[in-house]
Amino acid sequence: MKKTYKIDVDCANCADKMEQAAQNTEGVKDAVVNFMALKMKVEFEEGADADAVMQEVLKNCRKVESDCEIYL
C-alpha cells in the first residue's frame, strides 16, 4: 500500500534527513520526500498497520529534525 502525506519542513537538507529516517522505520518499504511539493510518499510493507507505522515515522523524523511535521 502507498500513501502520500503533506509535510512541513524548512530546508531541502532537513527533507533528506526525514526521508532517510522514514526509510529506516520498521514497516516502511520505501519513502520519498519531495521538498518542493512538501509531500512524503510512503510505501508500506505488506500487512503493516499504516497508521501505527506513520506514528513511528513521525517520531523518527523528529529525532533528526525536531520541528518537522507530517500531517497524518
Q: Is residue 1 one of the residues assigned to a domain? A: no
For the entire predicted model, the pTM comes to 0.93
Q: For the purposes of burial, counting CB atoms within 10 Å of the CB of 67, is it exposed (0-12), middle (13-18) or buried (19 or more)?
A: exposed
Q: What was the pLDDT predicted at 6?
A: 98
**Mean pLDDT throughout 39-63?**
97
- Report the CATH number that the domain containing residue 17 is assigned in CATH: 3.30.70.100
Domain containing 16 equals 8-60
Domain annotation covers residue 51: yes
- 8 Å CB contact between 18 and 38: no
pLDDT tens digits for range 9-41: 999 999 999 999 999 999 999 999 999 999 999
pLDDT in the model for residue 37: 97
What is the domain count for the chain? Answer: 1
Q: What is the mean pLDDT of residues 30-58?
A: 97
The three grid cell numbers given for residue 50, joined into one nine-digit string: 499504516
Q: Are 45 and 2 in contact (CB under 8 A)?
A: no
| Residue 67 is assigned to a structural domain of this protein | no
The verdict on residue 31 lying in a domain is: yes
